[in-house]
Amino acid sequence: MQLTNKIIVITGGTTGIGFATAKLAIDQGARVVVTGRDPRTLAAARSELGGKADVIAADSTRLDDLDRLFAEVRTRHGRIDLLFVNAGGGAFRPIEEADEAHYDQIMDLNAKSAFFTIQKALPLLGRGSSVVLNASIVASKGFPGTAVYSLAKAAVRQIARSFGAELVTRGIRVNAISPGPIDTPIFDKVGLGDGRDGFVAQMEASNPMKRIGRPEEIARAVLFFGSDDASFITGVDLPIDGGVSSF
């Protein structure tokens, strides 16, 4: 992939999949902007990326933060070639325990943030640019305890179709990826508590490849979609899951 001088904006790029994508993009010659919220992970990313990326504090659920983010990107880079809409996450709860606050928080973090991130970035996305959304295999398969997260990711997956259809005449491609379980800090954040290691072991055992994925395995697909090699691909959703959603 040739990404020299491409401008790549990655929301939620301070850890996990977003961070791995930032590192690979830098290696491929891109100019990278990553965002996050937590001052500690922002500082760690800044130090690990060693000045090779702009690391900007911006909460993707806050529209004023998105306005400020894209104003900064405009000033520093003038355009976006690849927007990786990656910020998101979840908390797993059985149906009875998923109250209104939980519902709103997970929908805002994944679906609302994705919608407005792209809307606000549009003035910087020109002909030949592209958007990749991070959905999940939970968007198309039922798993107990993940109803709200699954709804939110189904909305994310739909954004690739709806925005893709609307933006195709402007020369902007919009695709989604749907990772299976990937080894990132997300498993410490979804409320598994002491069940974390058992959950991961179960994910490994039930995967046809008998392992979970690595963030770099997602990064390569994201950068492919963002590269000129994917020039005729829009509106798709690519599972990257060791086959677990298929067999």
Ligand X SMILES: NC(=O)c1ccc[n+]([C@@H]2O[C@H](COP(=O)([O-])OP(=O)(O)OC[C@H]3O[C@@H](n4cnc5c(N)ncnc54)[C@H](OP(=O)(O)O)[C@@H]3O)[C@@H](O)[C@H]2O)c1
Binding track, positions 75-114, relative to ligand X; x by CB under 6 A: -----------xxxx-------------------x---x-
Structure-token pair, residue 1: 């992939």
| ∠ Cα 76 130 54 (to 5°) | 25
Evaluate whether 10 touches 35 at the Cβ level (below 8 Å).
yes
* Chosen residue from 3, 7, 8, 14 binding ligand X by CB under 6 A: 14
User: Has 103 been annotated as catalytic?
Assistant: no
By beta-carbon proximity to ligand X, the closer residue of 3 and 45 is: 45
Question: Which residue type is seen at 67?
Answer: D
Residue 235 binds ligand X (CB under 6 A): no
* Chosen residue from 36, 226, 239, 242 binding ligand X by CB under 6 A: 36
Binding track, positions 180-209, relative to ligand X; x by CB under 6 A: -xx-xxx--x--------------------
Using the structure block, give the residue that is written with the tokens 């030949």.
128
H or E segment to which residue 99 belongs: none
* Chosen residue from 12, 164, 239, 242 binding ligand X by CB under 6 A: 12
Residue 242 binds ligand X (CB under 6 A): no
- What residues does 85 pair with on adjacent strands? 133
DSSP state of 168: G
Query: Applying CB under 6 A, what is the total number of residues that bind ligand X?
Result: 31
- Note the Cα 244 to chain centre separation in Å: 20
Evaluate whether 159 touches 234 at the Cβ level (below 8 Å).
no
By beta-carbon proximity to ligand X, the closer residue of 16 and 242 is: 16
Q: What SS3 state is found at 98?
A: coil
Using the structure block, give the residue that is written with the tokens 């991070």.
134
Residue 179 binds ligand X (CB under 6 A): yes
Q: What SS3 state is found at 56?
A: strand
Q: What SS3 state is found at 227?
A: coil
Q: Minimum distance between the CB of residue 98 and ligand X, rounded to whole angstroms? A: 17
Using the structure block, give the residue that is written with the tokens 């997260």.
149
Evaluate whether 13 touches 35 at the Cβ level (below 8 Å).
yes
Catalytic residue among 149, 155, 213, 244: 149
Binding track, positions 118-157, relative to ligand X; x by CB under 6 A: ----------------x-x---------------------
Q: Minimum distance between the CB of residue 30 and ligand X, rounded to whole angstroms? A: 18
Footprint on this chain of ligand X (rule: CB under 6 A): 11-18, 35-38, 41, 59-61, 86-89, 109, 113, 134, 136, 179, 181-182, 184-186, 189
Known catalytic residues are 149
